[in-house]
Amino acid sequence: KPIDIGTILKNVITKMDVNIKRKGQTIKANIPEELPEVFADNDKVEQVFQNILSNAYKYTPEGGKIYIDVEYAEKMVKVTFKDTGVGIPKEDLPRIFERFYRVDKTRSREMGGTGLGLSIAREIVQAHGGEISISSELGKGTSVIIQIPAISGQLVSTN
């Protein structure tokens, strides 16, 4: 089914907004008024965004920032989640999409969770012909980029 990524993203942000504000974090989303649609399962794409945004929230300390940027380039709708959180050590990055993989036991105990969020996200994104990548700097922050093929170049309102 053709879906509109901008609208899904806005819903996910609205759902998490209270928690983000309560933690003193700022979220800044840059979503174009119009985007091409993608061929995807609405609920699954929502789950991907929810997983990535909840990571940004969880692994960013109080007062931190979360940025979401959406753009359309080279026939792909590209969503970037960037945070100013704790970051991921270089040596852990190659394994971060594995099921149950978590960075360290102390961090995991404090934060809760199962280590499935990113592996599920990758599974869904790849099932839609897309790509997900992560880059991070320890102590500085993390960026997750998700790209999903657009149906066509035709723009549709995201409102």
Q: Which residues here bind ligand ATP, judged by CB under 6 A? A: 51, 55-56, 59, 83, 85-88, 96, 101-103, 107-108, 113-119, 142
Pair type for strands 131-137 and 141-157? antiparallel
Instruction: For the CB of residue 18, give the shortest distance to ligand ATP in the complex, in Å.
Output: 19
Give the residue closest to Mg ion by C-beta.
Answer: 117
Which two structure tokens, joined as six digits, stand for 53? 């945004």
Among Mg ion, ligand ATP, none, partner that 147 touches (CB below 5 to 8 angstroms by kind): none
Complex with ligand ATP: residue 36 or 117, whichever CB lies closer:
117
Sign of CA pseudo-dihedral 1, 29, 122, 12: negative
Is the Cβ of residue 135 or residue 152 nearer to ligand ATP in the bound state? 135
Residue closer to ligand ATP by CB (options 15, 107) is 107
For Mg ion, the closer CB: 63 or 113: 113
Q: Which residues of 50-59 are buried (b: 16+ CB within 10 A; e: fewer)?
A: bbbbbbbbbb
- Least separation in angstroms between residue 13's CB and ligand ATP is 16
Q: Which of the listed partners (ligand ATP, Mg ion, none) does 13 bind, with a CB threshold of 5 to 8 Å by partner kind?
A: none
CB of 34 to Mg ion, least distance (A): 31
Whether residue 20 contacts residue 27, with contact meaning beta carbons closer than 8 Å, is answered with yes
Question: d(Cα 112, Cα 100) in Å, to the nearest integer?
Answer: 12
Question: Do the Cβ atoms of 78 and 146 come closer than 8 Å?
Answer: yes
Closest to Mg ion by CB, 36 or 117: 117
> Which residues form the interface with Mg ion (CB under 5 A)?
55, 117
- DSSP bridge partners of 72: 77
Q: Which does 83 bind (CB under 5 to 8 A by kind): ligand ATP, Mg ion, none?
A: ligand ATP
Contacts of 5 (CB under 8 A, 6+ apart): 35, 37, 38, 45, 70, 77, 79, 148, 158
